[in-house]
Amino acid sequence: MDKQGKILIIDDNKDVLFSLNLLLEPYFDKIKVTVFPEKIPHFMNTFDPDVILLDMNFGRDAGTGQEGFQYLAKILEIDTQAVVVFMTAYADTEKAVRAIKEGATDFISKPWVKEKLLATINSGVKLRQSRKEISILQNQVEVLSTGTTQNDDVIGESPVMREIFSTIDKLSDTDANILVLGENGTGKDVIARLIYRSSPRYCKPFINIDLGSIPEQLFESELFGYEKGAFTDAKKSKAGRIESATGGTLFLDEIGNLSLQTQSKLLTTLEKKQISCLGSNEVKNIDVRFICATNADIHRMVEKGTFRQDLLYRINTIEIHIPPLRERGNDILLLAGYFLKMYNQKYKKTITGFTREAKNKLMRYNWPGNVRELQHTIERAVIMGDCSILKPEHFIFHPAQRQRKSDEVLNLEQLERQAIERAMRLSEGNVSRAAEHLGITRFALYRKLEKLGL
C-alpha cells in the first residue's frame, strides 16, 4: 500500500520528535519535525502538511497549554483548513473541549498508544484531503458562476459543418486533446462546448479561460494557481483553472497568446499530468482534457518560433477547422432565422421573416465578423424593425476596408472568376441559385463556367 500524507510535528522535546519520526515513517509519505514553533509559518508555506501534531506545552509554559493555543490560532490564521492534532502530557477534559472549540481536530495524550495515534493521524490525513476536494469544488462553482451565459446551439447544414459534426461524433468516446481553428466570430467556443457535451466528461466541470482577455503576466497564476504570499497581492491561496477543471474539461481560448515561458510549463503539465502552483513546491496530479482554440495561423507561428512545436503536438491530437461564414452557403439564412426567433422572444416582437431581397443581401455580404457579426446584425434589425418582415434596408453593413492600391484586382476576367467562384460556394454548387446571386440566367452562367474551365 502506498504511503500517503505529509506530517509536521512540533515539540520542544527532541526525544519525542525522534520517537515519533521513527514510529510514523513506515506509514506516511513525508515527515518534518522541529523544536521551534516559530518556524510553523515557514513549514506551512514550503511543506504544506496534511496533519500538524502540535505540542501544547513549551518551555515558557509547563502545564497550562496556553502557548499551544496561541500557535493553534497562528496556524488557522495561515490556513483555515489546517488539520491540527494537539499532544500533551497534561491532559484533562477541559483542555480537550477548549482545543476542539478553538479549531483543533483531535487531542492525544502522552505517552501515546500506537494504534490510537496512527488511527488519529490517518483520519486527519483523510479529513485534509476531503477539505482540499471541497475547496476545489467551491472554486469550480465560483469559476462557473462568474462565467457568462452562452448559447450552445450549433446551427449548420452545409457540407463543411456536417463534416465537423461527424468528427465530433467520432470523438465522443475519447479523451483526445482537440485544437479548434477558425477566424474570429466563427464559434470556436460553441464547438468546444459541443465537444464537451458529447464526451464522457459531460456533467463534470467545463472551465474556460480566454487568454486574449487577460494580461500576459497573469497567465501563469490563472492557469496554475498560487499560494498565499506567492506575490504581493496574493492575500490567500487560489486554485488555478487547470486544477479547477479536475475530472472535466479545460477550454483554453486564444492559446496563441501564451508566452513561450508559459507554453513550456503547460507542455510539462500535459506530459506529466501534474501541476505545481506559484509559490509552492508541491506537485499535484491532474485529470483534465484540454480543448484549445485560436484564430492565429498557429502552424506559421511554429515556423517563426513563437509557438512551441512540441506543445502543438500535444494539443492537436485532432484539429477541427471551422470555416468562415462566407463559405457556409445557406447556413447564413439558417442562422439568420435562428437569431430572428431568439430576438423576437427577447424583445417581444412578431417579425415573421425576411423578404427575398433581404435574403439576397445577407447571402451576398462577406461577413468579416462571421457568425458573431450576423447575430449582432439580426439583433439590431429586430430592435429597429417596425414592420412584420425584415427588408434589405434593415441591414446596415459597415463598408469594407479599402484595399491598398497595390492589392487591387482590376482584371475583368479575374474579377468575374472570383464572383462566380464565390456564388457557387454560397449556393453549395447549385447553379440556379448561383445565377440568382450573380443576377444572370442559369444558361449564361453555364456558358461562363465552361469558358473559365470551372
Cα–Cα distance list, 102 to 75, 99, 317 (Å):
11, 5, 52
Q: Is residue 315 one of the residues assigned to a domain? A: yes
Instruction: Judge contact between 86 and 99, C-beta under 8 A.
Output: yes
- Rounded to whole angstroms, the Cα distance separating 449 from 153 reads 37
Q: What is the pLDDT of residue 148?
A: 41
**Looking at the structure, do residues 203 and 332 belong to the same domain, yes or no?**
no
pLDDT at res. 149? 41
In terms of domains, do 421 and 335 share one?
no
Going by pLDDT thresholds of 50, 70 and 90, the confidence category of residue 439 is confident
> Does a structural domain hold residue 150?
no
Give the mean model confidence (pLDDT) for residues 95-121. Answer: 85
pLDDT on residue 142? 53
Tell me the C-alpha distance between 372 and 368, whole Å: 10
Per-residue pLDDT at 10 exceeds 70: yes
Task: Please give the residue range of the domain that contains residue 277.
Answer: 159-323
Same domain (yes/no): 302, 204 = yes
Q: Are residues 362 and 260 in the same domain?
A: no
- Number of folded domains in the chain? 4
Report pLDDT digits (tens) over 275-328.
Answer: 988 888 788 889 999 999 999 999 999 999 999 999 999 999 999 999 999 999
Residue 169 sits in the same domain as residue 313: yes
**Residues 368 and 290 grouped into a single domain:** no
- 45-54, 131-140, 154-163: least confidently modelled range: 131-140
Considering the domain architecture, whether residues 315 and 349 belong to the same structural domain is answered as: no
Q: Looking at the structure, do residues 172 and 105 belong to the same domain, yes or no?
A: no
* Same domain? 87 vs 102: yes
For residue 374, pLDDT beyond 90: yes
Q: What is the pLDDT of residues 247-260, one digit of tens each?
A: 999 999 999 999 89
| 316 and 331 in a common domain | no
> Which residues are CB-neighbours of 381 under 8 A, at least 6 positions away?
390, 394, 395
- CB contact at 8 A, 273 and 285: yes
Residue 91: predicted pLDDT: 60
* Residue with cell string 475547496: 135
The CATH number given to whatever domain includes residue 63 is: 3.40.50.2300
Angle in degrees, 0-180, between the axes of helices 14-24 and 114-146, rounded to the nearest 10: 80
One domain for residues 168 and 287: yes
- Alpha-carbon distance of 277 to 240, in angstroms, equals 8
Choose the weakest-confidence range: 28-32, 287-291, 410-414, 417-421: 410-414
CATH number, residue 379 = 1.10.8.60
pTM summary value: 0.61
Q: What is the CA radius of gyration of the chain?
A: 32
- Residue 374 and residue 351 share a domain: yes
In a domain, 153, yes or no: no
Task: Name the residue with higher pLDDT: 356 or 89.
Answer: 356
* Of 143 and 273, more confident: 273
